Amino acid sequence: MSSSNFSQEITLLPADNQRLSNLCGQFDSHLRQIEQRLKVEISNRGNHFRVNGFEDAVKAACAVIEKLFVLAKDELITPEQIHLALQDASIDQIMQSPSSLAEESVFIKTKRGVIKGRGENQQGYLRKILTHDINFGVGPAGTGKTYLAVACAVEALQREKIRRIILVRPAVEAGEKLGFLPGDMAQKVDPYLRPLYDALYEMLGFEKVEKLIEKNVIEVAPLAFMRGRTLNDSFIILDEAQNTTTEQIKMFLTRVGFGSTAVVTGDITQIDLPNERMSGLIHVLKVLKDVEGISFTFFGVRDVVRHPLVQRIVSAYEQYEQRQEQ
């Protein structure tokens, strides 16, 4: 085990007081957040920092501080960014240069701001969406699968690479029977598509989204109504694909036309289909694994970008299921 008496010093250049203030936060709150998470002690005089604690934790803290200092040049550092930077600083990655990570980042520009992937997996996911026509993002809740797909769709629409965005989701309840839902078809499907709407509202604004829906530029389509269509010049997102049947997901993938990009997202640990039905997502991952031109991104526990407890909850469930299988 590494010693708890390990100490490391770093000097951040250039010595920019405003940038250092952004990094440290009000009353050094950002440094206290790093201390609490990694169980280290951080002291600084100007741009000179000293970190004490266990060796691995000290190295991780120094990597996080250097990475955040790079970001502090152009961005306002928030507690959420500190949390995400700490997640990225796993022991197997702490020796990566923060400056090289920043240079390789993929940015998605929307009218509401710049969106970028957090960590290696999200960055790779964005690159694949930008370079492949059909993409799969598979992993636990909170890993940014759907949010980043919507961001890519919004950017493609704003750059006029596509003519419309189509949001698709199977209407399967999460272990509940909701019964009859009032309203027209769009109103019946709305509850199932709420996560997609929330991401669109954040990136485009409520009024803009509503106008685009009225003009059919953004289309909400229940999966069951996709049969027989060919979708050209579109960005199509199939969310919660773990709740599709094998027939449904095959039907969906064969709808993709020229000039279109499709992103299929799902979490194979949260399947709400009846026990006798096989998940179409699990099946298609086996069938298409060697097909050229299709990308696959698999997210894990450390890719979760929600509250730190969400990461621990997902990890606890994984460990429990592994023990049950054994």
Q: What is the pLDDT of residue 178?
A: 44
Judgement on whether residues 119 and 65 belong to the same structural domain of the protein: no
93: pLDDT strictly greater than 60: no
Rounded to whole angstroms, the Cα distance separating 6 from 20 reads 24
- In the structure, what pLDDT confidence band is assigned to residue 86 with cuts at 50, 70 and 90? confident
* Same domain (yes/no): 237, 94: no
Q: What is the pLDDT of residues 170-219, one digit of tens each?
A: 865 444 444 455 555 556 556 667 778 888 888 888 899 999 999 999 98
Q: What is the pLDDT of residue 91?
A: 41
Average confidence (pLDDT) over 242-251: 90
**Same domain for 139 and 99?**
no
pLDDT for residue 185: 54
Residue 94's pLDDT is: 42
Q: End of a domain among 47, 81, 103? A: 103
- Give me the mean pLDDT over the 299-313 stretch: 74
Residue 112 lies in a domain: yes
Taking residues 72-84, report their average pLDDT.
86
Predicted pLDDT of residue 45: 92
* Alpha-carbon gap, residue 323 to 38, rounded angstroms: 28
Q: What's the pTM?
A: 0.64
Confidence band (pLDDT; 50, 70, 90) for 2?
Answer: low
Peptide bond before residue 195 is cis, with ω within 30 degrees of 0: no
Confirm whether 1 is domain-assigned. Answer: no
Same domain, 89 and 111: no
* Confidence at residue 1, expressed as pLDDT on a 0 to 100 scale: 43
Domain limits for position 42: 6-103
Which one of 103, 128, 146 terminates a domain? 103
Please state, for a pLDDT cut of 90, what percent of the chain lies above it. 33
**Whether residues 95 and 229 fall in one domain:** no
Query: Which tokens sit at 273?
Result: 């289909």
Residue 251 in any domain: the answer is yes
Q: How far apart are CA 200 and CA 154, in angstroms?
A: 8
Q: Is residue 152 part of a domain?
A: yes
Contact 297, 137 (CB under 8 A): yes
The pLDDT assigned to 187 comes to 61
Q: What is the pLDDT of residues 38-77, one digit of tens each?
A: 888 999 999 999 999 888 889 889 999 999 999 999 889 9
308 shares its domain with 186: yes
Average predicted confidence (pLDDT) for the chain: 82
Same domain flag for 95 and 147:
no
The answer to whether residues 301 and 314 touch, using CB atoms and an 8 Å cutoff, is yes
Q: pLDDT tens digits for 261-278?
A: 999 999 988 887 776 578
Q: Do residue 140 and residue 14 come from a single domain?
A: no
Q: Is residue 318 very low, low, confident or very high in pLDDT (cuts 50, 70, 90)?
A: confident
Residues paired with 2 in a beta bridge: none
List Cβ neighbours of 48 (8 Å cut-off, separation of 6 or more): 9, 10, 11, 12
Q: According to the model, what pLDDT value does residue 150 have?
A: 92
Mean of pLDDT values over 17-32: 92
Query: What is the enclosing helix (H) or strand (E) of 137?
Result: strand 134-138
More confident residue, 79 or 194: 79
In a domain, 182, yes or no: yes
Give the CATH number of the domain where residue 203 resides: 3.40.50.300
* CB neighbour list of residue 323: distance below 8 Å, 6 or more residues apart: none
pLDDT at residue 225, as a whole number? 76
The pLDDT value given to residue 286: 92
* Residue 84, domain CATH: 3.30.1370.10
Whether 218 is covered by a domain: the verdict is yes
DSSP assigned state of 254: T
One domain for residues 185 and 272: yes
Q: What is the pLDDT of residue 98?
A: 44
The larger pLDDT score, comparing residue 79 to residue 148, is at 148
Which of 43, 76, 103 delimits the end of a domain?
103
Residues 259 and 130 in one domain: yes
Q: Are residues 26 and 161 in the same domain?
A: no
Give the least confident one: 158-167, 271-280, 301-310: 301-310
Residue 289 forms part of a structural domain: yes
Q: How many domains does the chain have?
A: 2
Clarify whether residues 255 and 314 are in a common domain: yes
- 307 in a domain, yes or no? yes
Share of the chain above pLDDT 70, in %: 83
Q: Is the pLDDT of residue 95 over 70?
A: no
Query: Is a pLDDT exceeding 60 seen at residue 101?
Result: no
